[in-house]
Amino acid sequence: MDTVFIEGLEVDTVIGAYDWERGIRQCLQLDLTLCWDIRPAAEHDELDKALDYAQVAATIDRFAAEARFELVETFAERLAQKLMSEFGIVWLRLRVTKPGVNARARALGVEIERGCR
């Protein structure tokens, strides 16, 4: 099966387990790979048969704007569920990176895979 990807998407959200984090918005970086059959769109160069990247990104932006989670793990799991449900995606890989949270590491985060290819 084919995949499409969105790499380096930055969103601002309320995320964190500490009290000081609950009062601010923080940047998360997302890398997303989605299983999507590109053949129907590619066959006749038809945009309306392609996965709408702008809609996927807009859905992620809205989700992040409304999210209030303590854990990056919860953010990733709930976002994966939403994307699979709204776009009919059968498999995805989502990497959520929270930069600047540890002085000794550039970033921390999670990577999940959901569904079957």
State in words which class domain 3-115 has. alpha beta
Tell me the C-alpha distance between 95 and 107, whole Å.
12
**DSSP code of 34?**
E
Catalytic (active-site) positions? 98
Query: What does the pLDDT average to over 60-80?
Result: 98
Look at the block and give the residue holding tokens 């995949």.
Answer: 3
CA-based max dimension of the chain: 53
Tens-place pLDDT, residues 79-96: 999 999 999 999 999 999
41: CB partners within 8 A, 6+ apart: 47, 49, 50, 51
Q: Which amino acid is at 61?
A: D
Domains in the chain: boundaries: 3-115
Q: What is the pLDDT of residue 105?
A: 84
Beta bridge partners of 87: none
* Burial class of residue 31, CB neighbours in 10 A (0-12, 13-18, 19+): middle
Checking if the pLDDT of 107 tops 90, the result is no
Distance of CA 22 to the CA centre of its chain: 21
